[in-house]
Amino acid sequence: MKAVKHWSHGSTYFILGTRNVRVLLNRVLQHRWIGRAATGDNHFLPWPPRSPDLTPCDFFLWRFVKDSVYVPPLPMSLKELRDRITHALQTITADMLHRVWDEFDHRVDVCRVTQGAHIEGL
């Protein structure tokens, strides 16, 4: 199994496309993990209806805030963290929001064309 480091806190996630990982998840977490039916097995929960590919907070806001807040030197207190988050949100311009809605419209169109298929990686 291939584990990949994710973010700076050192947690890991597994690449779910690999057969070994899917077999392990099917055995250990049968009917308790979320995935796509790429292999035709039925051991997982269906992908949730609220797709992170479509929600503007997921494809724009959280990444924007994270990239604005977690820059060296890192915040050393809760107050400093809150201040950075507030500042990041205040720097979002009307033009940025317009582009986010254009992107959202594009993602909805892709979803329509693909008849609701998973559109990760746009």
pLDDT of residue 10: 42
Residue written as token pair 């993602």: 107
Residue written as token pair 């009917």: 31
Determine the structural domain holding residue 25 and report its residue range. Answer: 1-47
Note whether 38 and 52 are same-domain residues. no
pLDDT of residue 97: 93
Note whether 81 and 107 are same-domain residues. yes
Res. 19 pLDDT band, cuts 50 70 90: confident
pLDDT of residue 87: 97
Question: Is the separation of the CB atoms in 36 and 48 below 8 Å?
Answer: no
pLDDT of residue 95: 95
Question: Is the separation of the CB atoms in 2 and 12 below 8 Å?
Answer: no
Question: Is the separation of the CB atoms in 91 and 68 below 8 Å?
Answer: yes
Question: Structural domain tally of the chain?
Answer: 2
Task: For residue 22, give the nearest of 11, 4, 34 by alpha carbon.
Answer: 34
Res. 13 pLDDT band, cuts 50 70 90: very low
Q: How many residues does the chain have?
A: 122
Describe the chain by its helix, strand, coil percentages, rounded to 5: 45, 10, 45
In this prediction the pTM is 0.53
Q: At what angle do helices 62-69 and 78-90 cross, to 10 degrees?
A: 130
Per DSSP, 71 falls in state -
Note whether 37 and 19 are same-domain residues. yes
Note whether 88 and 101 are same-domain residues. yes
